[in-house]
Structure 1
Amino acid sequence: MKIDPEDNRASLRRRWGVPLGVATGVAAVSVAAVAVFSGVGGAKPLLADPAGNPTGAAAPSSPITTRGSTSAGAGSAPSSTRTTSTPDAFAITSGTTSPIDAGTVAKILASCLGSDASSYHAVVAARAPIASRDGDGVVIAVNSADQYVQCQSKGDKGNSQDSPPTFINNRLWGTGRTIEYFDSIRASAGKGRYLMLGAGHYTSDIAKIAISYGDNPKQYPAVMAGGAFVYAAALSVDNPGSRYAGPSPYIHAYNASGEEIYNQEKDPQFTNNR
């Protein structure tokens, strides 16, 4: 996960609970890996529904204040203690996204990918419920070789924190290879307010993806289409410190029968590094 240096004087980067040694050097490393999945290349863009949720998913209920992990590394074990008086108490005030129109999506991809933009079509384009200085949403696009790119948006401009943008392909799979993790960020959106945003890839046996934060068991549904998922949330903190790390996001995946078939909190690839 990329942590905004505005909130952490030392520029920190953490990515979905992977050890920092694996996460470093992203911008300098070129990876030619290609993730190939049937049907993705022909998928049509999904512009998030008015509630920001996939079909059949329940809308988030009122925010719950809980205590999140204070570790600077991602994937830390959630605390079993709940309180509203500690400095790291937080609340998810919104998990709702809104659609980005097709014209704006084209501009985001053009500024993010340059001359390569014409080779990609968007599968998910969602505006976050809160904006940081540098971001207010995300567009996930795929090319004919089933290579995904993730472009963070700010208005009608886009950028990728990966070089090349296809670096996310096959970079980090969860155990069982049902969920692949792309980039995630936590960025300041004003005093005590933060944007939480992330994305990834899912295989065809997954029908629903939801995200929980820290030790809060409440799950917020992701937007899903074309083999990609996106989540975005507004987080509020009463008294964040200068090095506030925020709660870790955890991915939960379900099959068509509603059975949870993947839980990042129980994934040995992440829990073994706690």
Structure 2
Amino acid sequence: NDLQFLNYLFFRCLCQKAFRSRRIGTEGQILSRVFTDYDPATRPPVRDDADHSSILVITNIFINRVNWHENRAEVDLYLRQQWEDGRLQYDVDPREQIDQVSIPSNRKIWTPDTYFASGNELERSGRHSAVVEPSGFVRSSEQRIVDVPVSYGTSFPFLNRRSFTLRLSSYVYPLEDVVYLWANSPPLVEPVEVSSDLNSGPFTLEEANAGDCIGNYSVGAFTISIFRKILVYRCGRDIQFFGDGFPLQLVPPYRIIGICFLAAFLDSW
């Protein structure tokens, strides 16, 4: 029985290796075909049945980390973009089980040249990936670090709410050529997502609001509101403990209000 099991594992490993080798070879053939006459400097054509002449770029942002400063923030994020490029369409046998092909780093494809118009991009880490589906639909992800201004809410000193705005635009293309649209298909896809580490830290994402198109920008402002959980003090009946397990019910009501106000005032600094 042990020998039969080992033979089965060996045969299975050989089959998987052969399948991966065939898949890699098929993907290489696909890339060779689609890039034969491909020009990455030319904007993709619009579909014949489209009612507009612009390329639609669907975007969402994943915030990995935020470094707070006095009046600004350094936002480490992943910019995710999706668009259709009919020149990259390809046919593949369903038996190959290939639903997308990764674009290698030595192959250049057309991109909308997106940048953050509401801040200064400090650096690009080089972490970039792109895949293309048989329909020519491209999905791209790129890490960016953006320095943006920060505004404070009007609830000080009871609530330390901070917000910053992320506005996207294209370096090269006007609104007539490229239009941005925030991805919004909850609960699977949100316009703005944050890492679990960021949400479990001293600050957490409260809300993200999309604005309207402004001026010549391809997309309007997307305001992200973030508040600090440890600065949220509710001086009401639902609060039973203050600080490290100190029972509020043992403190006179007027002192509770004073403690909450003083704690919020000190922590905001």
Point out the structure with max Rg over C-alpha: 2
Instruction: Provide TM-score, normalisation by structure 1.
Output: 0.23
Structure 1 or 2: more helix by fraction: 2
Pick 1 or 2: higher relative contact order, CA cutoff 8 A, min separation 6: 1
Instruction: Provide TM-score, normalisation by structure 2.
Output: 0.23
